[in-house]
């Protein structure tokens, strides 16, 4: 009897230990699973072009701002090189990590309404300017002053009407206000010939103030979006005034496209470099995270690459591919694809033809019409006939990956049956080349 009781006690103890170990194992498994599914950045692997080895106080984009007389709008883009600050002085650096211009200037900026740059050295007898050619980076002495002309869009709060103002060499004049694209209007109280800012901004489109004067700062309309500040945070609106990117980001210290107080970066080539909680990342124009917020600083993405700062050093990451490998380019360059197109004067947009594919295929197959042979080869193309759908494969039945806006320049790495293969906003696909013109 005594032995039987002892045996039962031992079995009970073993059972309890087994049950406890089972629960512990399940708990550990749950913790592991929870970590894998809650850590959104765990799957992201940084594609380093140059690991963080560059010592610099700051690396910033060079803003190319060209005023378009047809649209009365500044076309904003970023130069392929960047300005770098070392020991308080500025130079130019490429995304290959090589110094283009040594850091010896007090400032460097892109010349407004031009492709070249200007470097400035301050002195007791005035500033000394050096002209830098953007193609060869050859330098020469600059004898004239640059960037003296500036256009701004004001909103007269007294009359509730817009003003198109030009400032040149300190003189301010009003011109006809006729924007063809969305514009940020800056609130002012007009007093005689002066304009007193109210600190408020709004979105003006097609002769209508869509938002009212409710924002505290603004950027420029670029790549289909425009940045505004509200309650100390930045977000992005589209041309209808709809909030596409929520107001949860911070201004980029020391950045403003045309000078002024800190603003957010402009959208460029489908990417926006943004910052929040003192960390930088990259999002798409749809709000998808392309690069997680894990860097101490970062530049806009240019040609698929961006400078980023980590652990006190700067490096270069690749956000997306911009062209095919050299072996593929060499293979496709030697071939020329010929397609037959009709010489009708009617402008056809891809969106309209997609709704009637039978009509389009019929017109293309009609042999009685006069036709010309159009030769397409790989290279750079600008979309010149409206927005174009980038598709997963060739043909109107292929899945649409993303829409590329009119005016964008893309690199075509392969040509087949009148369609070009390219990469846009991290998507690799095909588009109809009849809606584009080759630039190189």
pLDDT digits (tens, 9 = 90+) for 126-137: 899 999 999 999
The pLDDT value given to residue 429 = 87
Q: Do 134 and 158 share a domain, yes or no?
A: no
Look up residue 152 and give its two tokens.
């701004």
Residues of the chain by 3-state class (helix, strand, coil), percent to 5 = 15, 50, 40
Cα gap 222→238, rounded to integer Å: 10
Q: Which residues pair with 194 in a beta bridge?
A: 191
Cα gap 30→36, rounded to integer Å: 10
The pLDDT value given to residue 27 = 42
The pLDDT value given to residue 15 = 59
Q: Do 186 and 263 share a domain, yes or no?
A: yes
CA dihedral of residues 137, 56, 282, 32 (deg, nearest 10): 150
Cα gap 432→377, rounded to integer Å: 13
Q: Do 168 and 137 share a domain, yes or no?
A: no
* Residue 19 belongs to a domain: no
* Residue 384 belongs to a domain: yes
Q: Given 99, 120, 141, which residue is the final one in a domain?
A: 141
Q: Do 160 and 113 share a domain, yes or no?
A: no
How many domains does the chain divide into?
3
* Residue 11 belongs to a domain: no
Least confident range of 3-12, 15-24, 227-236, 346-355: 346-355
Q: Do 424 and 374 share a domain, yes or no?
A: yes
The pLDDT value given to residue 400 = 92
The pLDDT value given to residue 377 = 84
Q: Which residues pair with 61 in a beta bridge?
A: 82
Q: Do 212 and 339 share a domain, yes or no?
A: no
Q: Given 103, 120, 141, which residue is the final one in a domain?
A: 141
316 close to 48: Cβ distance less than 8 angstroms = yes
Q: Which residues pair with 405 in a beta bridge?
A: none
Question: How many degrees, rounded to 5, is the angle at CA 151 between CA 150 and CA 154?
Answer: 135
Q: What is the CATH number of the domain that holds 348?
A: 2.30.30.40
The pLDDT value given to residue 362 = 30
Q: Which residue has the higher pLDDT, 17 or 281?
A: 281
The pLDDT value given to residue 417 = 83
Look up residue 268 and give its two tokens.
């460029």
379 close to 412: Cβ distance less than 8 angstroms = yes
Q: Do 258 and 163 share a domain, yes or no?
A: yes
Q: Do 158 and 270 share a domain, yes or no?
A: yes
pLDDT digits (tens, 9 = 90+) for 268-307: 989 999 999 999 999 999 899 999 999 999 999 999 999 9
Question: How large a percentage of the chain has pLDDT more than 70?
Answer: 78
Domain range for 422 is 326-438
Q: Do 359 and 415 share a domain, yes or no?
A: yes
Count each helix (H run) and each strand (E run) in the chain, helices first. 4, 35
Cα gap 127→329, rounded to integer Å: 47
Please check the confidence at residue 108 and state whether its pLDDT lies above 90: yes
* Residue 7 belongs to a domain: no
Q: Do 137 and 191 share a domain, yes or no?
A: no
Please check the confidence at residue 38 and state whether its pLDDT lies above 60: no
CB atoms within 10 A of CB 192: 5
Which residue's structure tokens are 């072996």?
A: 327
Q: Do 267 and 390 share a domain, yes or no?
A: no
Q: Is 162 helix (H, G, I), strand (E, B) or coil?
A: strand
* Residue 240 belongs to a domain: yes
The pLDDT value given to residue 155 = 94
* Residue 304 belongs to a domain: no
332 close to 319: Cβ distance less than 8 angstroms = no
Give, rounded to a whole angstrom, the gap between the first and last alpha carbons of the chain. 98
Q: Given 109, 141, 173, which residue is the final one in a domain?
A: 141
Please check the confidence at residue 329 and state whether its pLDDT lies above 70: no
Q: Do 154 and 268 share a domain, yes or no?
A: yes
Q: Which residue has the higher pLDDT, 206 or 130?
A: 130
- Write the CB contacts of 264 (distance below 8 Å, at least 6 apart in sequence): 219, 227, 229, 234, 236, 249, 250, 251, 252, 255, 272, 274
420 close to 411: Cβ distance less than 8 angstroms = no
Please check the confidence at residue 144 and state whether its pLDDT lies above 60: yes
* Residue 310 belongs to a domain: no
Average pLDDT over residues 405-417: 83
pLDDT digits (tens, 9 = 90+) for 309-322: 999 999 999 998 87
121 close to 128: Cβ distance less than 8 angstroms = yes
* Residue 302 belongs to a domain: no
């Amino acid at each position: 009897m005594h032995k039987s009781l002892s045996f039962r006690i031992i079995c009970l103890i073993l059972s309890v230990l087994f049950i406890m170990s089972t629960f512990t194992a399940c708990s550990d498994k749950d913790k592991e699973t929870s970590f894998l599914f809650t850590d959104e950045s765990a799957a992201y692997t940084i594609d380093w072009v140059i690991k963080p080895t560059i010592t610099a106080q700051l690396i910033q984009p060079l803003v190319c701002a060209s005023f378009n007389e047809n649209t009365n709008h500044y076309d904003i883009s970023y130069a392929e090189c960047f300005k770098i600050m070392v020991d308080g002085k500025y130079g130019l650096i490429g995304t290959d990590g090589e110094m283009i211009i040594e850091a010896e200037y007090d400032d460097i900026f892109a010349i407004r309404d031009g492709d070249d740059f200007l470097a400035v050295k301050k002195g007791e007898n005035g500033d000394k300017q050096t002209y830098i050619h953007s193609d060869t980076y050859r330098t020469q002495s600059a004898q004239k002053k640059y960037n003296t002309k500036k256009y701004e869009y004001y909103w007269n709060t007294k009359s509730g009407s817009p003003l198109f103002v030009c400032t040149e060499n300190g003189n301010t004049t009003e011109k006809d206000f006729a924007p063809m694209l969305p514009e940020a209007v800056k609130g002012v109280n007009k007093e005689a010939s002066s304009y007193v800012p109210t600190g408020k901004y709004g979105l003006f489109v097609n002769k209508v103030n869509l938002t009212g004067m409710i924002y505290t700062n603004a950027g420029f309309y670029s790549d289909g979006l425009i940045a505004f500040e509200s309650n100390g945070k930045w977000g992005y609106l589209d041309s209808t005034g709809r909030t596409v990117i929520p107001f949860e980001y911070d201004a980029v210290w020391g950045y403003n496209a045309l000078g002024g107080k800190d603003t957010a970066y402009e959208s460029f080539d489908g990417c926006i470099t943004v910052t929040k909680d003192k960390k930088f990342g990259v999002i798409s124009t749809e709000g998808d995270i392309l690069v997680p917020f894990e860097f101490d600083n970062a530049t806009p993405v240019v040609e698929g690459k961006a400078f980023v700062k980590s652990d006190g050093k700067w490096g270069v990451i690749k956000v997306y591919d911009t062209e095919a490998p050299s072996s593929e380019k060499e293979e496709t360059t030697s071939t020329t694809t010929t397609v037959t197109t009709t010489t009708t004067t009617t402008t056809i947009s891809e969106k309209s033809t997609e709704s009637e594919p039978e009509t389009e295929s019929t017109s293309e197959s009609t042999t009685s019409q006069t036709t010309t042979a159009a030769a397409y080869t790989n290279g750079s193309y600008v979309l010149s006939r409206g927005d174009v759908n980038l598709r997963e494969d060739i043909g109107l039945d292929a899945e649409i990956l993303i829409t590329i806006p009119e005016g964008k320049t893309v690199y075509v790495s392969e040509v087949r049956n009148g369609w070009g293969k390219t990469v846009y906003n991290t998507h690799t696909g095909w588009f109809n080349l009849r809606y584009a013109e080759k630039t190189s």
